[in-house]
Structure 1
């Protein structure tokens, strides 16, 4: 049954996750944490933090790690397959339609209506992670880290991987 749950937990976000990895993160969280209760939100946020250190698409890294933790190598293979299968099947099936209508004004408008929804999903996940960090660390360190991360990413244009690594180092020092 764990294999079926792993498959569904990653197939459904892969199927409806418009915009790639960032939009699938909250969808995967909904399945893995809320629906199937495979891990806690704290564990899930740790997996995302670790996954962001490494190169590659975040959804497949999440699938590989979570699948492996829950069901070993077969679990990792099933979760990764479930993550990439919807996109692969849709790309094969819709390639000619996309090529034919890629300059269509209707298609462009359609994507413009989906983008705010993806933004709200990301904001919702960010607020959950922020509140969890506040519960773990208290307000002051959490707000200071958030301010530093904002300036590092937006103003100083530091690569997100370095910001995450520096946060890990600071966390290791203060643990």
Structure 2
């Protein structure tokens, strides 16, 4: 049993270490990598659970990738699992930052580095686009086209026109999600009543 437990810690450390090393561009760009490890490779959760976890993590303060690592570690191995996952996720970056600190001034003005950053940005945009498409497809399957269009329009208005902080918008949609099926049942009963 201890061997299996040690294997799980090693799996957590390896998965979160990779996301910490390969994730470039801030928290949101790391999410597709974390999803790949948690859903596709290690099968710790399914897409729906990952979407719910991501929504809750977005509503809480702090770096999104670290919160996701902490939750996955805690889900798999409790408090110690959360500590292992967080350390595995942040330590490689911390070590790299310390090692490169003396070169930071040179690197920030280097045309080579500027070119590398410019080359990576479209890749990050595509990864985020693919993830958004997959979540939209799941929403379409669960809610239908009309509701997806309505929710997208509401999100756009709240975020771009009003504008409201994204955490509040996420909290509003989480609150609606909690009562979604009750509201849907009321509409169905009302429609049946009007039809008869």
Q: By the TM > 0.5 criterion, same fold?
A: yes
3-state SS of 2:93 partner = helix
Q: Deviations over 1:81-126 (max 9, x none)?
A: 1111121011011111222221122221211111111111101111
- Map of 1:14 onto structure 2: 20
| 2:145 corresponds to 1:145 | no
Larger radius of gyration: 2
Which sections of structure 1, spanning at least 5 residues, go unmatched?
none
Q: What TM-score, normalized to structure 2? A: 0.85
- TM-align CA RMSD: 1.2
Q: What TM-score, normalized to structure 1? A: 0.95
Q: After superposing the two structures, state which structure 1 stretch, 17-26 or 148-157, moved more.
A: 148-157
Q: Deviations over 1:34-79 (max 9, x none)?
A: 1111111111111100101100000110011111111111110111
- Map of 1:112 onto structure 2: 118
- Runs (4+) of structure 1 exceeding 3 A deviation are none
Taking the aligned partners of 1:31 and 1:46, their CA distance within structure 2 comes to 16
- Map of 2:160 onto structure 1: 154
3-state SS of 2:57 partner = helix
How many residues align? The count is 175
Q: After superposing the two structures, state which structure 1 stretch, 141-150 or 39-48, moved more.
A: 141-150
Taking the aligned partners of 1:131 and 1:146, their CA distance within structure 2 comes to 13
- Map of 1:135 onto structure 2: 141
Q: How does 1:1-175 map to 2 (within 5 A)?
A: 1-175=7-181
Which sections of structure 2, spanning at least 5 residues, go unmatched?
1-6, 182-196
Taking the aligned partners of 1:64 and 1:10, their CA distance within structure 2 comes to 10
Taking the aligned partners of 1:137 and 1:60, their CA distance within structure 2 comes to 30
The offset of 1:157, in angstroms, is: 2.4
Taking the aligned partners of 2:160 and 2:109, their CA distance within structure 1 comes to 32
